[in-house]
Amino acid sequence: MRIAVPNKGRLHDPSLDLLERAGLHLENGADRKLYADTVDPDVTVLFARAADIPEYVRDGAAAVGITGLDQVRESGHDLVDLLDLEFGRCRLVLAAPEDGDIDDPEDVAGRTVATEFPNVTRAYFAERGIDAEVVEVTGATELTPHVDMADAIVDITSTGTTLRMNRLAVVDEVLSSSVRLFAHPDAAGDEKVQQLLTAFRSVLAAEDKRYLMMNAPRDRLDDVRDVIPGLGGPTVMDVAGGEDVAVHVVVDERDVFATINDLKGVGASDILVTEIERLVE
Rounded-to-integer distance, Cα 62 and Cα 189, Å: 14
Flag whether pLDDT at 86 surpasses 70. yes
SS3 210: strand
Instruction: Provide CB contacts within 8 A for 129, sequence distance 6+.
Output: none
- When divided into structural domains, the chain yields a total of 3
Rounded-to-integer distance, Cα 128 and Cα 199, Å: 40
Q: What is the pLDDT of residue 166?
A: 93
Q: Is residue 281 situated within a structural domain?
A: no
Q: What is the pLDDT of residue 29?
A: 65
Q: Would you report the helix, strand and coil content of the chain in percent, each value rounded to 5?
A: 30, 35, 35
Are 154 and 128 part of one and the same domain? Answer: yes
Sheet containing strand 35-37, strands side by side: 35-37, 44-48, 2-6, 64-68, 179-183, 80-84
Are 197 and 255 part of one and the same domain? Answer: no
Are 224 and 98 part of one and the same domain? Answer: no
Q: What is the pLDDT of residue 160?
A: 86
pLDDT, tens digit, for every residue of 210-222? Answer: 999 999 999 999 9
- Structural domain of 156: 90-177
Are 173 and 249 part of one and the same domain? Answer: no
